[in-house]
Amino acid sequence: MNSINELDCVALTCDLPAHGLMRGDVGTAVMVHGDGSAFEVEFVGYDGHTVALLTLERAQVRPLQTHDIPHARELLPA
């Protein structure tokens, strides 16, 4: 399993409907908790506004891979 460091981009591995986020949405790990078991992850729209700043467990995110491709979708209200 690849490590995640501060300022790494990560992808959600699950939907978070309470926040309007879906599996595959990309955020930035802005803080690593302890041994990397949890992270503060910021999700930002292309206009620069913060969509969500969440504490997520390791199983909820993964590092981006070289075979990943960016994708845009309209953010629906949570």
Q: Is the pLDDT of residue 1 over 70?
A: no
Q: Is residue 78 part of a domain?
A: no
Give me 69's structure tokens: 């491709």
Q: Is the pLDDT of residue 5 over 80?
A: yes
pLDDT of residue 77: 79
Per the document, the length of the chain is 78
Parent domain of 28: 9-63
From its phi and psi, is residue 12 left (phi > 0), alpha (psi between -120 and 50) or beta? beta
For tokens 């595959």, the residue is 24
Q: Which tens digit of pLDDT belongs to each residue from 62-76?
A: 999 999 999 999 998
| DSSP 3-state of 29 | strand
Q: Is residue 72 part of a domain?
A: no
Q: Which tens digit of pLDDT belongs to each residue from 31-60?
A: 999 999 999 999 999 999 999 999 999 999
Q: Which tens digit of pLDDT belongs to each residue from 8-34?
A: 999 999 999 999 999 999 999 999 999
Whole-model pTM: value is: 0.92
Q: Is residue 34 part of a domain?
A: yes
CB contact at 8 A, 20 and 43: no
